[in-house]
Amino acid sequence: MVSDAHAGGTLSTPHGTRPLPLPAKLLYSANGLGEAALLQTLNVWLVYFYAPPENADRETLLGLATVSALLFAGRFIEAFDDALIGWWSDRTSTRWGRRAPFILLATPAWALFAFLLFLPPAGDATLTAIWFFLIFQGYSLCSTLVGGPYEALLPELATTSAERISLSTISVYLGVAGSGIGLIGSGLLRDSVGFTWMAAAVAGWAVLWRYVGLFGVWRRATVPQPAARIALQASLRSTFANSHFLVFLPTFVLFNVGFLMMLGVLPYYVKAVLHAEQEGTWVALLSGVAVLAILAAAPFFARLARRTSKAHAYNRAMLLAAVVFPVFAVAGLLPGVPAGLQVVAAAGLAGLPLAGIFLFPSALTADICDHDAQVTGLRREATFYGVQNWVEKSAAALSPLLLALVLLLGARPGDELGVRLFGPVAGMIVFSAYLVFRRYSLADDAQLAISDVPLPAASTTD
């Protein structure tokens, strides 16, 4: 076993490859233009599509409680395949490497299921509920088959802390741009051509950029890597024995619970607080302001990470988020200032810390994977990302329930207590993440060369 104190060098590039050049970083990160667009489109509009507010100009397909319960059940059940698929990817050995086959083959189905979520069959509520649940399960499964292996490429492509900060920064910029495309574009498309064409356009866009990202790093992504021949139970036990991962994991989970709740409440918020008729346009505007704030703040957090550490910058971003998220509770109430301007300002403030929170999780997980390789002798990137997604999805299944509880307290003009409470609730959730992460102690350069990692013991294999 290698102690943390032993680590002081940088991670050597595997199989003699050169450091990752800028074009490869851009192409790998370009996946975010599509993935984030699709994800944020679903985060904002899926609940609203099936369970619009009473004063919306569309019929209710399912009750809010039903949608929330189905999302909770679907996310909770599906979450268990993340670790399994990660373990499967880690132990895969093909001429296309360990990750590329999953990404290549599952991407079309991933986009198709996302589109079908907005194309429910005509019929009664029971048929609609069954359709929603099954299609959502298919989407979630394919998302895991594609997303987990794609994330697991990062530690293999970027092998030093500096490279990971650089690649993560580019990924944030393009991911935020993708989020902006999804949040802004979906709102405009929804108002102009309706939900069906909106879903088709965003799903097609996601497929395009997923393949751009994969083929942009194809030669590196398909370099043979040693398969991690370890039994599933032993792999999971080893993952949860990593003390650094156990500190990082709940912070990532808690933030995502609060963030998903915030996204889901936006259409209701602009309807209740601003009395907006074109809520899609307002959601697009607020999202655009937040995106600009993220882009403006990202260089600051990247510099802070280089001067201190990724962990320090990540923790400061969470503390700032806990302070600014509650501003949404009072936006629109100040006399003498237009309500719309106040809400826009709140969106801009909320976007600033998101830059730091989006920037570092993948890079921190990559560092944890290196630390694990020192201890176990196995490269198990997909298992770590899979377990991370498994726990995050299980906890994020609570976000629709939290959203429903908040909205039940008031989500209409004149009865807006619920939509105003989402900011303070999200702030408290993120503040708890900040407190937990203060215990994180893994240094940025706590790594060994991949070539120096010991071979796995025979007892770990199945």
pLDDT at 139: 94
Q: How confident is the model at residue 313 (pLDDT cuts 50, 70, 90)?
A: very high
Q: Which residue has the higher pLDDT, 376 or 445?
A: 376
Question: How confident is residue 345, by pLDDT bands cut at 50, 70 and 90?
Answer: very high
Least confident of 262-266, 294-298, 345-349: 262-266
Give the residue with greater pLDDT, 80 vs 135.
135
Which of 75-84, 188-197, 343-352 is most confident?
Answer: 343-352
DSSP H helical ranges for 158-193: 161-180, 186-193
Look at the pTM and tell me if it is higher than 0.85: no
* pLDDT of residue 360 exceeding 80: yes
Could you read off the pLDDT of 226-268 as tens digits, one per residue? 667 777 888 888 888 888 999 998 898 888 888 878 877 888 8
**pLDDT given for residue 28 in this prediction:** 93
Q: CA-to-CA distance for 89 and 67, rounded, in angstroms? A: 32
Neighbours of 28 (CB within 10 A): 26
Segment 431-455 mean pLDDT: 70
Q: Report which of 455, 85, 48 is spatially closest to residue 272, judged by C-alpha positions.
A: 48
Torsion sign, CA atoms 112, 117, 122, 124:
positive
Q: What digits encode the pLDDT tens for the residues 15-69?
A: 445 688 889 999 999 999 999 999 989 988 898 888 887 766 777 788 888 888 8
**CA distance from start to end of the chain:** 21
Judge whether residue 331 has pLDDT over 80: yes
pLDDT the model gives residue 7: 34
Q: Who's near 443: CB < 8 A, 6+ residues apart?
A: 4, 7, 309
Whether 202 contacts 49, CB under 8 Å: no
Tokens for 134? 């099954």
N residues, the chain: 462
Domains and CATH numbers, the chain: 22-442 (1.20.1250.20)
Q: Tell me the per-residue pLDDT of 92-132, one tens digit each, with 9 for 90 and over.
A: 777 888 888 899 999 999 999 999 999 998 878 889 999 99
Dihedral sign of CA atoms 193, 196, 197, 202 in order:
positive
Span of 13-27, 73-87, 205-219, 268-282 with lowest mean pLDDT = 13-27
74 and 136 Cβ atoms separated by less than 8 Å: yes
CA separation for the pair 426, 139 (Å, rounded): 26
Smallest CA-to-CA distance from 390 within 13, 46, 80 is with 80
pLDDT surpassing 90 at residue 435:
yes
Tokens of 64: 């809010």
Report the C-alpha gap between 30 and 345 in whole angstroms: 29
